[in-house]
Amino acid sequence: MPISTSLTRRELLKAIGLTAGATAMYHAMTALGHAQESPFPGPPVLSPAKPGARVLILGAGLAGLLAAYELRKSGYEVEILEYQNRPGGRNWTLRNGDVYTELGGATQKIAFAEGNYFNPGPWRIPHHHRAVLHYCKALGVPLEAFNQFNHNAYLHSTEAFGGKPQRLREVWSDMQGNLTELLAKAVNENQMDLPMGADERDQLLQALQGWGLLDADYRYRSSLHTAVRRGYDQMPGGGRVGPPTPGPLLDLHDLLHPTVWQRLNSQLVYNAQPTMFQPVGGMDQISRGFMRALPDLPVRYNARVTRIDQTERQVSVTYEDTQDGKATQVSADWCICTLPLTVLGQMPVQASQAMLSAIRAVPYSSYTKVALEFRRRFWEEDDAIYGGTSVTNQEIELISYPSDRFMSDGPAVLLSAYTTGVKGSLNLTRMTPEERIEAALSQGEKIHPQYRKEYLSGASVAWHRVPWMLGCRARWTEDKRQMHYKTLATLDGRIALAGDHVSYMPGWMEGALLSSLDAITQLHQRAQEA
């Protein structure tokens, strides 16, 4: 007897979500075809540009570099204005000897060991971000695997397990086992409001028993059966070593604390699922790849855009040289502007009122990252953690372990804080760089007591204090998307906006590239018609 068709997909998903949590709901959504990948169609196929057609690109981040790369292939004359003295934008890597000054004047000189680095912006590439992967391959940027979820990393909550960090494998296994036991009881006692026949009921019980590692009585207990997933107290050995023994289960009361399941869910979202990648040697290898492919690209660095004007025939941009303060105006037939809305909204821009309202309507989030360098890889040597992420309900939110050069000697860098919550981000933003490092040390040592003894140096980037960004990424709401998104994404006269803020993937390089490809397509079509 099949399950009644009167039960809608929405009702089924709700039942699964209420019973087994968000992870089970996500897997069900995938099975029902609701989880989508990046809509990257491949690089644009543009007809030859009209002779002498000139495009001015504002910003040498990935959106701007991609626009230059593809437009030049079609025959456009392209020039970029860039505020900084380097390309890449948030595709940014800090290494030994780099100097960074944030708003307020605090200056950090990076003192990492040679070969170590810190990615303040993007730090991983999901397998379904097909545009980023395509251009990495096209530009010859080598990638390596990035380990996001490591069962041997820690989940730490100050409000559960007595504040003691627990291995993620134990938390996840015990959460899964306890919930499937509860669900099996409901099925056995006919307490589920899901019409099904005896065959379906038996199949569901078998599935719950296997998925949750339940025993013959549909109970989740400490045993060698459950230890195959959650781990052992006494590991299986050889020779005269005693037999393996299972460990005690975690308390269900602690497992159900919001600080626990919320941290678990953060590890299982679509954009963090394996396989993930990172460029070998730092995230800025992608922007370097674009620059290698554009060796004669005219880029005016240290150019702070102060004004954008347009007529029916051209776009004129005024910029100030950040070194000598000299103001200069440059003109082109078209303009692709990739400046963040936080910056663009503070300057005169000759555009429609709808566009101006849209630019000023979207706030930015205030994420903060802290990187700490340690004398040795104690997380590998002492805790057997190779890559992956430990999570905590403290302000630092997570610790991400390097996914490269495993088991090597010498210093290594941990991403020791990545604050995305409003309260935590703003608190770390208001601190000095030294105070952020101290916060990362004091909170991180609750998970790794080795922190103080092994610490060498650190660096931090609070994105609201980054002069050329004034925030990390656009913080869209559904209402604002309905009101302003179409306007931002549509060519306004001779100006097209591009960047991750003009995408449904804010904060991701994929969003920046997809937005740029759409801006290129619009501009080329209009230019050919002009």
pLDDT digits (tens, 9 = 90+) for 158-192: 999 999 999 999 999 999 999 898 888 888 776 55
DSSP-H helix ranges across 267-418:
285-293, 341-344, 353-359, 378-381
Minimal CA–CA distance to 489: which of 477, 502, 506, 478?
502
pLDDT recorded at residue 270: 84
Q: How many CB atoms lie within 10 A of CB 480?
A: 15
Cross-strand partners of 315: 310, 332
pLDDT of residue 21: 46
CATH code, residues 54-89+286-362+470-529: 3.50.50.60
CATH number of this structure's domain 94-152+274-283+365-465: 3.90.660.10
* pLDDT given for residue 25 in this prediction: 42
CATH of domain 169-248: 1.20.1440.240
Closest C-alpha among 134, 122, 121, 142 to residue 39: 134
The reply to whether 169-248 shares the fold of 94-152+274-283+365-465 is no
Place of tokens 């993007």: 122
DSSP tag of 367:
-
DSSP string, 187-220: HHTT-S-----HHHHHHHHHHHHHHHT--TTS--
Cα-based distances in Å from 340 to 105, 334, 484, 513: 21, 19, 15, 14
End-to-end CA gap in the chain: 64
pLDDT along the chain (530 residues), means of 10: 40 46 42 56 93 97 98 98 97 98 98 97 96 98 96 96 96 91 81 67 86 91 90 87 90 90 83 93 98 97 98 97 97 98 97 98 96 98 97 96 97 97 92 98 98 98 97 95 97 98 96 97 95
For the chain, the domains span 1-35, 54-89+286-362+470-529, 94-152+274-283+365-465, 169-248
- Judge if pTM exceeds 0.85: yes
